[in-house]
Amino acid sequence: MKKIILLLVFFAGFTSLSAQTLSLDEFKDKWTSLEKSISENFKNKNYETLEKSINESIALFFRLSDEDREEYQFVQANNYYNLACIYSLQNRKKEATDAFEKSIKDWGYINYSHAKTDSDLDNIRNDKRFIELMQSIRELGDYLYILKNAAKYEKADTAGLPHFEYENADSKRLKNVKKFFKLDSVAGQGDEISKIINLMTWLHNTIKHDGSNYALCEFDAIDFYNYHKSTGNGINCRGLAIALNECYLAMGFKSRYITCMPKNEKDADCHVINSVYSNTLQKWLWMDPTFNAYVKDENDNFLSIEEVRERLINDKPLFLNSDANWNNQNPQTKENYLDTYMAKNLYWLQCPVVSQFNPESRYRNNKETYISLNPVGYKQSKGKIREDEITVYDHEYFWQKP
């Protein structure tokens, strides 16, 4: 009897230990491993193992603290979405629809555009409940539809608002950036546009992207580079755009890094890209170091962020450069990158008034004012607005020439 009691105590302790709360880093390590397994088994159509891995991921999520669960509930949304896919592929229709419903109603899945075109769900696409669920997320997840229904901008009296400023290339710290990276060589001897593209492609190839990593270093190009080389870790899109911005400024180009935001405040994802001014073309140009991406129209003209946004709204042709990619692994298409991802993240825009070296220092007390360009009538909730933020609805002010 004593042995049985001891064994029960042992197993009770083991169960408690195995279900203990995980730190975010521990969770990410285990989750990343499971995600790789899930991805491989999707390719191999190994549904039994796949279902087991997804259920492990579901259980893993509940080992997060309550606070971390709130931030990472998209993990559960994706888990149940993946279950819906594998059930649908096996023609287990009720289970598939149940899982799809759970991903939406319990965990906030809203990616309408993806679900609309995902062939894994074809077996339940005509199901009445599936159709109703899809309609329920359109206002939150049909990103092109949401962007097209955004209010317009309007001209306003901007007297008294700050003018955008750009650190001079002759400043000591930008000279250091130029010398450290040998940017004259990186940019090459071609025309202005080729130099702008060469700088972006070089940075894209030099520092890898990791959207989940908020690098523990100063927020400047040299520190980002050294951090990546010493740790092997990538940096997020904001870090890449800040680094490229400094390289442009160091080479004498007027440039800003632009935070591109979704309408839905519950969506934790956004994207940060660059807007660099071409003196040759007398306009701002879209440059995205995360995806090595720029955009043209049907006449081969380079486009600005403002022009891309307007063309998405008005169904005008857009062409992504053929070598756009993520980390030199995943090629990007116009449909995924522009019609879905960037359509979501072009609802409102934000950038600092002063474009400069190390603009968002982790360790120094840099005070920066930000300008947000919103559609008329849209305003972020109080908890989402920076203390040092000015909201405008006048796109001409926001995109003033340097």
> So what's the pLDDT on residue 1?
37
- Domains present along the chain, CATH in parentheses: 21-141 (1.25.40.10), 153-398 (no CATH)
> SS in 3 state form for the chain?
CHHHHHHHHHHHHHHHHHCCCCCHHHHHHHHHHHHHHHHHHHHHCCHHHHHHHHHHHHHHHCCCCHHHHHHCHHHHHHHHHHHHHHHHHCCCHHHHHHHHHHHHHCCCCCCHHHHHHCHHHHHHCCCHHHHHHHHHHHHHHCHHHHHHCCCCCCCCCCCCCCCCEECCCCCHHHHHHHHHHCHHHHHCCCCHHHHHHHHHHHHHHHCCECCCCCCCCCCCHHHHHHHHHHHCCCECHHHHHHHHHHHHHHCCCCEEEEEEECCCCCCCCCEEEEEEEECCCCEEEEEECCCCECEECCCCCECCHHHHHHHHHCCCCCEECCCCEECCCEECCHHHHHHHHHHHCCCEEEEECEECCCCCCCCCCCCCCEEEECCCCCCCCHHHCCCCEEEECCHHHHCCCC
Share of the chain above pLDDT 70, in %: 94
**Is residue 384 very low, low, confident or very high in pLDDT (cuts 50, 70, 90)?**
low
Output the pLDDT for position 298: 98
Under the banding of pLDDT at 50, 70 and 90, the label for residue 159 is very high
Q: Which residue has the higher pLDDT, 252 or 381?
A: 252
pLDDT for position 21: 86
pTM: 0.80
Q: What pLDDT score does 6 carry? A: 36
Confidence of residue 12 (pLDDT cuts 50, 70, 90): very low
Q: For the segment 129-157, what is each residue's pLDDT rounded down to a tens digit?
A: 999 999 999 988 899 999 999 999 999 99
Query: Mean of the per-residue pLDDT values for the chain?
Result: 91
- Residue 128 pLDDT: 96
| pLDDT tens per residue, range 298-308 | 999 999 999 99
